[in-house]
Structure 1
Amino acid sequence: MTYATVDAMKNKFGEQELIQLTDIEEPYQYAINMTRLNSAMNEANSEVDAYVGSRYSLPLQVIPPFLVNIACNLARYYAVTGDLTENDPIKARYETSIKTLHKISKGELTLGGSPAGESAPVQTANTVVFARGRRDFGGSGW
C-alpha cells in the first residue's frame, strides 16, 4: 500500500528539506531527487505493510492518517545517507514510529478511525481448550 507519498512528504517536511535530503551528489540540481525519494518511500511503505499486515488484512479499506505520518517519518530516515547523532530528531521520530508499528503488530494499538467492520484484525487459528480439572473440594458441589 502507499502511505508515504510525495505530496505527504512535502506537506510534512517541506520541499526544501526534501531537496536537502535527496540532492546530495554533484552536479546538484537544486530539486528533489525523485529516484532517491521514491526509493526511501517504497522502503517505508513496505515496512509499514510488514508490521500492519501481520495484524490486519491488506489492503486497508481506510488508511489512518497516523500511518501516513509514520511512513513519512520512516521515509525521511531512509532518505538520510549520512550518520545521524543519537539526539537527531530524524532518528528520534524513526525510533518512535518503529515502536508504534511494533505495538500495532502486537495488538497493543489499534488502527482507530476505521469504520466498524473495516480493517479488522486478521483472524488467527489460535484455539483455547478448557478441560475439566480435579475436584478437590468434594462431590456434588458447594
Structure 2
Amino acid sequence: MPYATLDDLVERAGIAEIRQIADRDRDGTPDPDVVAAALRDADDAIDGYLGARYDLPLPSVPPQLRPWAVSIARYVLHRNGGPEHVVRDYKDAIAALKDVARGLIALPVASGETAPTAVTGQTMAAHPPQVFTPTKLAGWN
C-alpha cells in the first residue's frame, strides 16, 4: 500500500509546483506515471529503512510515514536539484527513517490497529579457524 498519493503531494507543495516538476509532456497536468514513479521510489526508500526494524508489509500505514514519503517523492521529482527547503525536508525524512531503523523512533499505532511486528533474529557468522594462536606463535605447533 502506498505511503502517499498525488493529493498528498499537492497538499504539501501546491498544484503549481507539482505541475512544474511532474508535467513532462507539457500538457498542463502532472503526468501520472512520473508521479507514480516518484511515489514508488519514496515507498522503496522507506521500506529499505523500515525493513531493518519491522516485518513488511506493515499492517497499516502509520501517519508519520506520509510526510516522509511526500518529502522523498518531492525531492525525486526535482530531478535537477530542488530548492533548499525541499532538500532539507528530504534530509530530515531520511534522518528520521535512519532513527526508525536504529530503534530510536518507534512507529505509532492507532487504537484498535495491529502493531507492526519487529524483526527478530540473530546475526550469524562463519569464519575459518584462527591462524595465529598463542600456541602456534610460541612455536609449539
TM-score between both structures, scaled by the size of structure 2: 0.77
Aligned residues: 123
Specify the SS of the correspondent of 2:64.
helix
What amino acid is the match of 2:103? Answer: G
Query: Runs ≥4 in structure 1, deviation > 3 angstroms?
Result: 114-117
Residues 117 and 39 from structure 1, CA distance in 2 versus in 1: closer, same or farther, beyond 3 angstroms? closer
Deviations 1:85-128 (A, max 9, x none): 6xx1000000000000000001111002355762031112269x
Partner residue of 1:30 out of 19, 28, 31: 28
* Percentage of pairs with the same residue: 26
Letter aligned with residue 120 of structure 2: Q
Could you tell me which of 98, 102, 112 is aligned with 2:108? 112
Mark the runs of 5 or more structure 1 residues left unpaired by the alignment. 128-142
| Uncovered stretches (5+) of structure 2, i.e. residues with no partner | 125-141
Quick check: 113-122 or 103-112, which moved more?
Answer: 113-122
TM-superposed CA distance for 1:83, in Å, is 2.7
Q: CA deviation at 1:53?
A: 1.2
Q: Which letter does structure 2 place at the counterpart of 1:5?
A: T
Q: 1:4-83 counterparts in 2 under 5 A?
A: 4-24=4-24, 28-83=26-81
Pairwise CA RMSD of aligned residues?
2.1
> Distance between the aligned counterparts of 1:5 and 1:117, measured in 2?
23
